[in-house]
Copies of this chain bind each other. A is one copy, B any other.
Amino acid sequence: MAKPHTQTCPIAGFLNTFGDAWTLLIIREAFYGATRFSEFQRNTGIARNLLTDRLTSLVDQGLLEREDIGEHGTRYAYQLTEKGRSLVPVFVAMVQWSNENIYSEADAPVHLIERKTKKPLKPMRPVSTRGQELVWGDIVAIPGPGANRAAIARIDASQPADNLSWTS
Interface residues of A (CB under 8 A from B): 1-2, 5, 7-15, 19-22, 24-25, 28-29, 31-34, 39, 43-45, 83, 85-103, 106-129, 131-132, 134-148, 151, 154-155, 157-159, 164, 166-168
Closest to A90 in B: B93
In the complex, chain B residues whose CB is within 8 Å of the CB of A157: 32, 43
Number of copies: 2
A134 and B148 contact, Cβ closer than 8 Å, known pairs A102-B13, A164-B113: no
Apart from A11-B25, A114-B132, what 9 extra A-B contacts exist at CB < 8 Å?
Answer: A8-B109, A14-B24, A19-B20, A33-B158, A86-B97, A110-B155, A113-B140, A113-B164, A121-B128
